[in-house]
Structure 1
Amino acid sequence: MKNLFFFLFSRALWINVLIAAFVIGGIVLGTMHYLKSYTRHGAHIEVPDFTHVSLDSLDYLFEKHKLRYVIIDSLYSDAHAPGSVVNQNPLPRSSVKENRKVFLTVNATQPPVVTVRDMEGLSKRQALAIMEAMGLGTDSLIYRPDICLDCVLEQRYKGRKLKPGTKLTKGEKITLVLGGGKEGRVLLPDLRGMAFSEARDLMFANTLLLGGVLDCIDCTTGEDTLQALVYRQSPAFSKKTKRVVPMGSTVDLYLTLDTAAVHLMQPDTLFSIMDTTLIEE
């Protein structure tokens, strides 16, 4: 017991304890410094916006910003230049460490090709749904007398009959020849006061086509146009004559965002205002 007491308070023991403490402390500090240097702890950079950047410029830009990239997917969009970045992950302005991988989706250099289906005999609504799913559009609808109203009689591309199985570039537009029924004519609807999107849908339901938007008062964006109201149409609607037009006819629209002005711009309202003015005079 006495020997143990002297051993615990001996100079040699405490020298060894201090040496061990310095060694362990040095190892811990060295390890922490190494890990901090290796993992770049606390060193972050902001991810630039690589959207719309061409593939040719990626190597230079990523090396400049000390990042890496991986292309994980490609798609085709008319809104982006061929061979450019469409989106990225992490998003722009994200905080990441150096040498971080950024995953990119790029726009294909060529639009994909689709195979045209046989749509003869289908309804207009079915045919247009199929075309939309394939990425094809329609440039016009042509009606001709046929007992099957709104049935697809023929498909055309650039004026020529389109055979099923033909390869077309996605985004191309084709013409549908539809049955117009026995009469081939339709009652012209009153589109005044309707929102543009609503009027467009009603025209479609009545086998009519949008000729053009000839005016859009106070409209500055595409969203404004969709929400604008129709204050005039051509051909004009008439309650008295109940105008009938051929199926597939075009109707031009005049729009405004001023809801109060829609009522004032109606012919009946204008005539009423003129009559009131004449009476007062």
Structure 2
Amino acid sequence: MSLGKFIVSRTFLINLSIAIVLVVVIVFGILKGLNRYTHHGEAYPVPNLTGLTIEEATTSAALNHVKIEIIDSVYNKKYEPGTVVDQQPIANSMVKENRLIFITINSIEPEKVVLPKLTDISFRQAQVLVENCGLLLGTISYQPSEYNDLVLDVKLDSVSIQAGENVIKGSTIELVVGRSKGNIKTPLPNLTGFTLDEATVILNDARLNQGVLIYDNSMKTKQDSLNAQVWKQLPNPKFVPSVDLGSSVDIWLTVDTAKINEAYEK
């Protein structure tokens, strides 16, 4: 090989090597920059904002490298006005830095609904109307009447109310229902493992009332009371399979899974 060809060949190899090194450096730099820009592999847990004020939620979000945005407001008497009642994503989800957490806050002014006509219709019809307009069905009482199963009176806090009145949404309505016969029996449902809200619906469907509520010492936070499940009830359906319509059922609640599992096994 001549000296000239050798020099040209060597120069080409040197330039090729330099080009390869430059490409590798550039690609590495781009990937490194993307990792930094997207925080590759870096995620933060979503804090539990439920029950916090907007100021507290904002501070908690900032400390956890996320942001909040209010998307809705509702009225829930279980929470203080102006506090967070719901969030998406849920608490303890892993998200990227600066991810928006969408929150729903409790209205300061309760929303009101117009009470529909609930008297002179069957209990089942009244039950559907109560639920459809955002009210809750509470105590069901019975009194003698020639019209069996007909709603005779509607009460709020033990005071009779009339159709057309404005009632706070979420209020608990009491119904007085006619009964033309003597004591009528209804099967006693087993409430084990259900939350309080679920148990209340089951009792309403069975024409029974919620009696005394007893929370055990496993309750540490407000969220515990919302998540608590029934582990004991009186009367017990295993020993008392049916009770009179309108009877009350006492309920014991816990978040202790061992108690609930033991109740299932009994």
TMscore range, shorter length: 0.5 to 0.7
Aligned CA distance change for structure 1 residues 25 and 52 (closer, same or farther; 3 Å) = same
Q: What is the distance in 2 between the residues matched to 1:84 and 1:204?
A: 30
**Which position in structure 1 is the counterpart of 2:53?**
54
State the 1:122 CA deviation. Answer: 0.4
In the other structure, the counterpart of 1:76 is: 75
The aligned residue for residue 143 of structure 1 is: 143
Q: Confirm or deny: 8 A CA contact 1:228 1:255 kept in the other structure.
A: no
Native 8 Å contact 2:82 2:105 kept in 1: yes
Which of the two has higher C-alpha Rg? Answer: 1
Change (3 A) 1:40 1:25: same
Structure 2 unaligned regions, length at least 5: 192-199, 220-227, 253-262
SS in 1 for 2:230: helix
Cα–Cα, structure 1 residues 47 and 206, in superposed 2: closer, same or farther, change >3 Å?
closer
Question: 1:224 and 1:81 mapped to 2: Cα distance?
Answer: 28
- Moved beyond 6 Å, runs of 4+: 203-207, 230-233, 252-256
Once residues 213 and 65 of structure 2 are traced to their aligned partners in structure 1, the CA distance between those partners, rounded to angstroms, is 52
Aligned equivalents of 2:100 and 2:206: distance in 1? 54
- Corresponding residue of 2:224: none
- Cα 1:97–1:154 change in 2 (3 A) is closer
> Is the CA contact 1:153–1:179 (under 8 Å) kept in the aligned structure 2?
yes
Map of 2:116 onto structure 1: 117
Deviation at 1:162, TM superposition (A): 3.1
State the distance in 1 between where 2:178 and 2:170 align. Answer: 25
- Matched residue SS, 1:187: coil
* 1:186 alignment counterpart: 182
Q: Tell which deviates more after alignment, 60-69 or 151-160.
A: 151-160
Amino acid paired to 1:223 = V
Written as runs of structure 1 = structure 2, the 5 A alignment for 1:93-132 is 93-132=92-131
| TM-score (norm: length of structure 2) | 0.63
Letter in 1 for 2:141: L
Give the CA deviation at 1:168. Answer: 0.3
Q: Cα RMSD over matched residues?
A: 4.5
TM-score (norm 1): 0.60
The aligned residue for residue 195 of structure 2 is: none
Q: 1:15 to 1:225 in 2, by over 3 A?
A: closer
Q: Which residue of 2 aligns with 1:166?
A: 165
Cα contact 1:144–1:177 (8 A) shared by 2: no
What is the alpha-carbon distance in structure 1 between the residues aligned to residue 168 and residue 175 of structure 2? Answer: 17
1:243-271 deviation digits (Å, cap 9, x = unpaired): xxxx99x7677899xx9xxxxxxxxxxxx
Aligned residues: 228
Do the aligned partners of 2:210 and 2:251 also contact (CA within 8 Å) in 1?
Answer: no
The 1-side partners of 2:47 and 2:210 are apart by 44
- 1:44 maps to 43
Q: Which amino acid aligns with 2:169?
A: K
Any conservation in 2 of the 1:53–1:84 contact (CA below 8 Å)?
A: yes
Residues 35 and 189 (structure 1), Cα distance of their counterparts in 2 relative to 1, 3 Å cut:
closer
What letter is aligned with 1:20? Answer: A
Which one is further off, 32-41 or 74-83? Answer: 74-83
Q: What's 1:263 paired with? A: none
1:175–1:103 distance in 2 versus 1, CA, 3 Å = closer
- Tell me if the contact between 1:138 and 1:175 (Cα under 8 Å) persists in the aligned partners: yes
Amino acid at match of 2:137: G
> Structure 1, residues 160-217: CA drift from partner, whole Å, max 9, x if none?
6533222100233445454454xxx6137599xx6676xx99x98998x7595699xx
Q: Tell me, yes or no, if the aligned pair for 1:50 and 1:85 is still in contact at 8 Å.
A: yes
Which secondary structure state, in structure 2, belongs to the residue aligned with residue 186 of structure 1?
coil
Instruction: Give how far 1:97 is off.
Output: 2.3
